Structure 1
């Protein structure tokens, strides 16, 4: 930014919206794209995870705005979007006077932006938060086994993104607390969360033997009668799959201090309303 200002350009970034309160941020971004002479595309691994950045580039391309790719972190040119892969980029990974001179030369060499098309292309819709969409799905009134497994798969892929890691872990824990959590889902979810916490997904504390295919506790749980919850180290255990006290099924889901109608046999969840 400082380099561009030193060259008497007027750069604008969406960070400037932080001080603008309730103004529609997306409309303002699109208006700035329409008014600009060109766009600087910051190349970094985060570029490929940003839906807003993708829509901004596509809209600028539809308006004929010339892009100037500037690499600030190493990325593989072969995986760049098609509108960028054929263009020479400025390597700004090390900064310094040479990088500044290269940026100045690249800006001076940008072709002029053409007049805005008439009619104008449709403005892209406001991008929703990807994690916000996942949160809505995690909190849906009901989730099938297939939907639960798809959620785990999508959340697991985002665990490696440092800026999203804590939010993803929170959503995984919310998913683990669902009353309709399937046993097959738990078998995927429990080791994943233990890995996040740095725990072993196999070992149990000395002297404890977890119930066969039981829920997300590492200590032993003793099944009681249908009107009583299991005991676990002298207190009510956390939600999870435990041996069915009615003995009609292998496992039964225990939630909020109560047995539920969800049971499991050989990994298949069944509904047992007469429990």
Structure 2
């Protein structure tokens, strides 16, 4: 029984437009839940948002009669908008992210020349987690693992026996996340991954994104620490830091800017809230020319 109490139930949800996995993770008694990396649908051409994907998470939690305790972000995503405020309005719960979000807020406050009232202190979130901090999701004990490199503020969430790594790692046949965003660092990512891969081999690992390579059928979201150590094309055991950094920098130089980085970052550094409406009552997102 004690061992079962450490086992999390995990329900994945795929947003195909942004190739993002969101998760509902809950204890086996079915009482309490957390959501990791939710998605608010956004049409860049029209500027229209929709909660249709997030509504699937709401329906699942209601059908299972779960209590939502946490709405967790692994980092301030650059490829999709967070649905955290919608989920909190519908289900309650607290929005949490790593305390280093303040670094990212300071960077992009200047990039977007945000309003004077915007504070780069993380106060937009309900809780800022520290590295090594523990908390509960019902009977599941969760631990925070600081994992910078993709951005300065990435966190992995170990909830029971399930590890949610955000953009730090992808499936073994895809490799690792880019490190060329402001504040990113390939050497830091290497060290973060080595820390993550020091967990027991059987630890289940859940991805935030999947980009299926040629020859592989369908999207996948789950692997394990042991599988990553054996098979990750960028960071398997035996790959030296300098070799990884060289590969990562060469790869990053070929990548285009994420399609939704401009709206995503402006919204996600606000815990998913939109910028304040202007004098005509309309909300606007800025496009900084020649900056990103």
Smaller-chain TM-score bracket: under 0.3
Q: Which has the higher strand share?
A: 2
Instruction: State the TM-score, normalizing by the size of structure 2.
Output: 0.23
Q: Which has the larger radius of gyration?
A: 1
| Structure 1 or 2: more helix by fraction | 1
